[in-house]
Amino acid sequence: ENNIRLASLAKRKGWRLAASGDGLFNENGQRIAGDSEESIYKALGLPFQAPWERS
């Protein structure tokens, strides 16, 4: 699943992707992205993919 892939990438960076949908948090617990899915992809260094484009 796509969320698992994003969470794994975040973890490798020392970050946490909240399962609750609250956003992406850095190692200090500060929210660094999450206003939109696109902001999370950007923070992780990934091109945004619309839900229908994800496999």
Per-residue pLDDT of the chain (55 residues; tens, 9 = 90+): 899 999 999 999 999 999 998 999 999 999 999 999 999 999 999 999 999 998 7
> What is the reported pLDDT for 27?
97
Instruction: Give domain status of residue 15, yes or no.
Output: yes
Instruction: Give domain status of residue 55, yes or no.
Output: no
Name, in order, each residue with C-beta under 8 angstroms of 51's C-beta and a sequence gap of 6 or more.
none
Residue 27: CA atoms inside 13 Å, Cβ hemisphere, count?
4
Give residue 6's domain range. 2-50
Instruction: Give domain status of residue 32, yes or no.
Output: yes
> What is the reported pLDDT for 21?
87
DSSP per-residue letters across 1-42: -HHHHHHHHHHHTT-EE-TTS--EE-TTS-EEE-SSHHHHHH
Instruction: Give domain status of residue 41, yes or no.
Output: yes
> What is the reported pLDDT for 1?
85
Number of domains in the chain: 1
| CATH code assigned at 46 | 3.30.210.10
> What is the reported pLDDT for 24?
98
> What is the reported pLDDT for 41?
97
